[in-house]
Each structure stands twice: as structure tokens, then as C-alpha cells.
Structure 1
Amino acid sequence: MQYAPNDLTRRERYKVLTGFVLPRPIAWVTTVGPTGVVNAAPFSFFNVFCEDPPLCMFAVNLRPDGRTKDTLTNIQRTSEFVVNLADEPLARAMHDSSGDFPPEIGEPNYLGLKLAPSTNVAVPRLADAPWAMECKTWQTIDVNGDRQLIIGEGVNFHIRDELWDPASMRVHMDRYHPVGRMFADRYCRTDDRIVFPPAEGAQGA
């Protein structure tokens, strides 16, 4: 079976992409509104792309009624945001923060999530997140006038202490339990892992 994208509706293309590109990491993005309200919203069209400089990208589309989402409005105003990752204890709150909250209602406050100050940006991070990256806008790409690809440059990392071995610069995978996005309202755990020995002749990618 095969499809040409132009033969599918927008919704059908979304279902093909999100049904097979699995699991997807989730950027739980915090931003600050003009009155100081802290917004937190999850985006699963997201990933990191390089380390020098450390760049991440996520996509923000318009609301169904055509309004701009608070995350995009705030980033356009300040050029700052924080990408927080969610693990299993935070998964439900992360999902609940995807609701259509008005700008005057901050998801962290509404959901009882603790905030912590960032170091190099004015936007706070989620205090209990296992990992967070303070970001400044590196580039924004408009897609068809109804979606923005936001590329952020990481300017500071925060790691929950018990998850990281600073001597080896490796995560303690037995302690880190991130969640991934599947499709619709389905998520996955990541504890069932496969470890392969190095491939013969492999020099590293």
C-alpha cells in the first residue's frame, strides 16, 4: 500500500505520520505571557538535532478556530522558552496540560506543578522535570501560514541529580523512566529496552 501525500487530506496525512513514527519524544514547553503567567504545553512533533550548537525544534500549529497558541505568542514576544521532558510520574499532568486553557490560566499553577527559576532565560522550568533545556530562539520557519517550526538553541541544561553520572557523562537508565507519544491520546513507557553489542567493523556513527 502506498499514498501520495497530495491524495490525502491533511488529517489523513497526520494519521499516517503519527501512526508510524513512534514513539516520539515530547517537548513540554514553558513560556511566560505578558502578565507573567507561566504557560506549559506539550508538543510531540519535536526532537533535538545537533550538539554544536545544541538545537531542538518543535512545531506549533494554529488552534482549530485559527487562533495562535499561547506558546507561540509568548516565544514571538520574548524569544525564550524552556523544553522540559516528562517521565512517568509527570505523564498525566503533561497530558492534562494539553487542554485549551485561556491565556490568563497558567497550566503549572492550575495543575499544581512546581516551578524553578532558570539560569540564563527569564522563563522558569518545571522543577520536577527529569531534564530541562533553557532555550533562546535560533530560527523560526513559517509553514503554509498555519504552522511555525521553532528552532531553539539550548543555553543551559538542568538534570535531576540522581539520573546522571557526571564521571562517565551517562544517564542512569535504570532510574530514568521517560514517556513517549504514540498516537491520539496514547503514550508509551520506555523501560523495555534492547541492548546490542557493537556491530563488527563499526567505527561509530
Structure 2
Amino acid sequence: MIFDVSVLENQEKYRLLNGGVTPRPIAWISTRSPEGIDNLAPYSFFTVASCNPPVLLYTEVTQRSGIEKDTLQNLMATGECVVNIVNSTLLEKMNLTSASLHKDESEFDFANVERCASEQVMPRSVKDSPIRYECSLREVIPISDLPTGGTVILLDVKCIYVRDDLYEDGNIKQKSIDSVGKMGGNHFSLTAKNIELKRP
């Protein structure tokens, strides 16, 4: 089938992009509000933008209400966050943190996620996350404020935590990281099984 995007409804375009660009890594982003509330939310439009300097990129999809999510509001106010990588052990708790809570409620508490102090930023980290990137806000790039539009957020990486058993000979052990990917709809992919192909 061929789809002409100029005649598609917003949700049709969303489902075709969300369901085809898969699997996507998940940025489980923790922030702290100016009032001291610890926020935690997952974003699957996420990747590396640059390695030198180290910059991460995630996209916040515009809500139908047009109101920015707590993550972006907190980032704009404080300039700091932590990108926590999700493994299969954390999958269900991560999913719980996608619930719509009042801004005065903490997703850490709601989903019973254990937090710990970060090294260089104020927002708390997910203690059991195997890899964490402590970041400062670099740039916010609005693409569209229409429903299902997007805002691109660039994050400067200041500090990286890798669980000791995952780091060997200067590399993160890919067969042990157990990271989770987002598929379309309510589906996720697991990476416990992978194959290695050497580049030609």
C-alpha cells in the first residue's frame, strides 16, 4: 500500500511512523521541578546526535492539549536531566511512569522506582538503570505545535554511569546490557538475543 501523507489524519501519520521506525531505544528521563518534585517519563523518539561533543537527542510529541509535558517544563526551568536506559527488569515500572499524573505527583513514587543521587546534576537517577547519562539542556528546537507535532531537545552529556559488570576492555558488553526497544502501539522488543556481524 502507498500512503500520501498530505491526505492522512494526524493519528494515521503517527501510527505509520511509530509502527514502522522500530525498534526505538527508550530514554527514561528524570528531572526535578523547581518545587523539588522528582519527575520520570519515557520517550522513544530518542538517539545520539553527536559523539564529539557528546549530545543526545529526544523528541517530545505535542499533546492534544498543547501543554508541554512536565519533563520539558522542568528542563526549561532547571536545565538538567538524567537519561536512564531501560532493561527488561525495569520494563513494567517504566511503562507505569507513562501515566498522566498531576505535576505535584512523582512518578518515582507512583511506580515504586528506587532513585539515587546523581554525580553532577540535581535530578535523581534510576538506581537500577544499567546505564545513565547525566545531561544539561543544550537547545530546544520547535518543529510543530500542532497535535502530534514535535519539539526536538538536544542534551549535552556531562557524566556517564555504566554498571561495572557491563564494562569490559573499553566497551559496553552488548550481550549483557539487556536494553529494551519500543515498537508500535503497546509493543516492546527485548534484546537478550542478538547477532554479531563484522562490517566489510
The TM-score, its normalising length taken from structure 1, stands at 0.91
The answer to whether the 8 Å contact 1:23/1:180 transfers is yes
1:5 counterpart letter in structure 2: V
Partner in structure 2 of residue 175 of structure 1: 176
Structure 1: give runs of 5+ residues left out of the alignment.
Answer: 200-205
The answer to whether the 8 Å contact 1:82/1:125 transfers is yes
Partner in structure 2 of residue 31 of structure 1: 31
The answer to whether the 8 Å contact 1:61/1:69 transfers is no
Spell out, residue by residue over 1:157-203, the C-alpha distance to the aligned partner (whole angstroms, 9 max, x if none): 011111111xx11122332211100011110101221222331xxxx
Aligned length: 197
Quote the offset at 1:80 in angstroms. Answer: 0.9
Runs ≥4 residues deviating over 3 A: none
How far apart, in 2, do the equivalents of 1:52 and 1:28 lie? 23
Listed as ranges, the matches of 1:1-205 within 5 Å are 1-146=1-146, 147-165=150-168, 168-199=169-200
Q: Give the % identical residues.
A: 28
Structure 2: give runs of 5+ residues left out of the alignment.
Answer: none
Higher relative contact order (CA 8 A, sep 6+): 2
The answer to which of 94-103 and 114-123 deviates more is 114-123
Spell out, residue by residue over 1:18-68, the C-alpha distance to the aligned partner (whole angstroms, 9 max, x if none): 111110000000000121110000000111122111111111133333322
- Structure 2 SS opposite 1:3: coil
Give me the CA root mean square deviation: 1.4
The answer to whether the 8 Å contact 2:60/2:152 transfers is yes
